[in-house]
Amino acid sequence: MDTIFYNGKIYTMEKGWDVQSAVAVQDGIIQRVGSDEEVLALKTEGTKCVDLQGKTMLPGFTDSHMHLLSYGYSLEKVNFYSARSVDDLVSLAKDFLAKRPYLTWLQGRGWNQEYWTEGRFPTRHDLDRISTEIPMSFTRACGHIIVCNSKALEVMGVTKDTPDPFGGQIDRDENREPLGIFREAARDIVYNALPELTVDDVKRMLRNGMDELVKAGITEVQTDDFEALPPGQYQKVLDAYHQLEAAGELKVRVFEQCLLASQDLLEKFLSEGHHTGEGTPMFRVGPLKLMADGSLGGRTAYLGRPYADDPSTEGIPVFTQEQLDKLILTAQQGGMMAAVHCIGCGAAEMTMHAIEAAQLACPKPDLRHAIVHCQITDKPLLEQFAKLNVVAHIQPAFVDDDIPIVEARVGKELTQTSYNWKTLQDSGVCIAGGSDSPVIDFSVMNGIYCAVTRKRLNGEPEGGWLPDQKLTVEEAVRTYTMGGAYASYDERVRSTIRNGKYADLVVLDRDIFEIPAEEIKDAKVEMTVLNGEIVFTR
């Protein structure tokens, strides 16, 4: 036996199993789960024995939706999450640039006007206070809005005569001059002008991101990485992962959510032989990823009805119904599931229509289409999830930012049927937990805490928000284990601690099933194990 972990409190997450104390691993596969006496009897001369010192062991966590490359990229950008005003943003950027005078394009991420004294978006005029010598582009925390300085507009050739692309918007002043704010599809103008990343750049960013993931006990990510590069450059991402795997440098399993936002790109990808499930146990092609709308904070999430606090807009649909129908049907015909970003109920309604149409036109067994975020929903939409067997990728810790704005944005009635994770689960829908990092932190403990308490990280509101939608601790853990595994067709090989499954494990410093729910967010990851190998210890 290669390794035996013993003297622990092991929650296998297998239904009906009692808590165990030891697990034996050979060649990366769990061989025996049981008492210390049973499992230590398998010890041989070369066995490594790891004393868990009574700590809690769980299956390794899955983040079912994030952006690993963008997260790694964000570590090399100005971090604006702490900014509380336009002046803060300017100051942070100036300090960052002063230490890096060699930069030819300054990028940043994380600003959120909801937390600012001004309560408005920054504009090119604000960024021009930092510098007019080099181009700058700063992405909002949600990732759906970018603000640029005047030099960037010059480099990109954007003027008052530049038209808005379909599914996007360039904000303008009273004279039609661009303010430097690019929403949704208009962001491609910025992306296409950024300095081009090499495969080595991508590898460096992925390595740095994975180093942080394992500290959170995450052993698999379902990640949209194509979005970090201009459309059509996905081969760099594939090459980077293949090279990292060949060098033994993948610290997490990867199920790639492939952003291919045009019919031509999707058809090219499929013609090259790619399909869901292609790859190895460490790196596989996952679903077609589509962005059907934007964000709630930026009012670009497509509601299909006026915003309660701004009746002039319904949000921005990225596709027409015809385009979305064709993309999902093409994916289904080519053996790809689809995972569609839908924050607004209007975008979700369009996506459900497209999924149902594809299933009727090209029936296939067990094609696990998914909606990512599924935040704003009404009762008919909640019923559609179960009817069409659509996976719900949820981000429980989103409530930390969203609780203060949801009712203002969508009204009281629609709020009652939104973020309804318990309703979805109880109707038989697979809910898979994730973070959408770098939009928010990928702390699984934060996610479980928010799912169980329905509170913000500061403990508000008392009693929880929409408390009938609280999950139990066991249910919340399952969203980050079984839920994620089901979404990637892995429920038979991982996500519980059982003989024959991958030895992907996490050890916590306390028993989250027994401590007060308020303390769950404070739990620390002590150890992360992938394929039986310890990849992180605190």
The pLDDT tens digits for 140-167 are 998 899 999 999 999 999 999 999 999 9
Encoding tokens for residue 222? 């379902």
Q: What percent of the chain has pLDDT over 70?
A: 100
173 pLDDT exceeds 90? yes
Last residue of a domain, one of 166, 191, 216: 191
Indicate whether 82 belongs to any domain: yes
Residues 51, 102 within the same domain: no
Ordered DSSP codes for 175-209: TS-EEEEEEETTHHHHHTTSPPPPHHHHHHHHHHH
Write the Ramachandran bin of 441: left for phi over 0, alpha for psi from -120 to 50, otherwise beta.
beta
Identify the pLDDT of residue 22: 98
Encode pLDDT of 400-436 as tens digits.
Answer: 999 999 999 999 999 999 999 999 999 999 999 999 9
Please report which confidence band the pLDDT of residue 478 belongs to, taking 50, 70 and 90 as the band edges.
very high
* 94 and 121 both lie in a single domain: yes
pLDDT of residue 455: 98
pLDDT band, residue 531 (cuts 50/70/90): very high
Closest listed residue to residue 515, CA positions, set 34, 55, 46: 55
- Same domain as 117, residue 46: no
Which among 136, 160, 191 is the end of a domain? 191
101: in domain = yes
Residues 77 and 180 in one domain: yes
| Contacts of residue 192, Cβ cutoff 8 Å, sequence gap at least 6 | 230
Is the residue at 492 inside a domain?
Answer: no
Pairing of strands 29-34, 22-26: antiparallel
Last residue of a domain, one of 191, 212, 234: 191
Q: Please check whether residues 84 and 32 belong to one and the same domain.
A: no
pLDDT digits (tens, 9 = 90+) for 91-136: 999 999 999 998 999 999 999 999 999 999 999 999 999 999 999 9
The yes-or-no verdict on residue 443 having pLDDT over 90 is: yes
The string of DSSP codes covering 31-95 is EEEE-HHHHHTT--TT-EEEE-TT-EEEEPEEEEEE-HHHHHHHTTSEE-TT--SHHHHHHHHHH
Q: What is the CATH number of the domain that holds 147?
A: 3.10.310.70
The rounded mean pLDDT for the chain is 96
Q: Say whether both 184 and 88 belong to one domain.
A: yes
CATH code, 45:
2.30.40.10
- Is pLDDT above 90 for 16? no
Q: How far apart are CA 181 and CA 192, in angstroms?
A: 16
State the residue range of the domain holding 19: 3-60+500-537
What dihedral do alpha carbons 327, 331, 333, 334 form, nearest 10°? Answer: 140
Task: Report d(CA 425, CA 351) in Å as an integer.
Answer: 20
Q: Please determine, for residue 471, whether its predicted confidence score (pLDDT) is greater than 90.
A: yes
Question: Is 143 among the domain residues?
Answer: yes
Backbone phi and psi for residue 239, each to the nearest 5 degrees, phi listed first:
-60, -40
Same domain, 15 and 52: yes
Classify each residue of 315-327 as buried b or exposed e, where b means 16 or more C-beta atoms within 10 Å of its C-beta.
bbbbbeeebbbbb
- The larger pLDDT score, comparing residue 325 to residue 366, is at 325
The reported pLDDT for the residue numbered 503 is 98
State the pLDDT at residue 174: 95
Biggest CA pair distance of the chain: 80
pLDDT band at 528 (very low <50, low <70, confident <90, very high): very high
Same domain for 79 and 107?
Answer: yes
CA distance 429 to 432: 10
Query: Are 23 and 129 in the same domain?
Result: no
Q: Is residue 349 part of a domain?
A: no
Task: pLDDT band for 43, please (50, 70, 90 cuts).
Answer: very high
Bridge-based pairing state of the strands 136-140 and 106-111:
parallel
Position 80 pLDDT exceeds 90:
yes
The mean pLDDT of 193-217, rounded to a whole number, is 96
Q: Would you state the pLDDT for residue 268?
A: 98
Q: Report the share of the chain in percent with pLDDT over 90.
A: 96
Mean pLDDT (whole number) for 73-93: 95
Q: Give the model's confidence band at 222: pLDDT under 50 very low, under 70 low, under 90 confident, else very high.
A: very high
- Examine residue 54 and state whether it is found in any structural domain, yes or no: yes
186 with 96, same domain: the answer is yes
Same domain, 55 and 103: no
Q: How many domains does the chain have?
A: 2
CB neighbours of residue 104 within 10 Å: 7
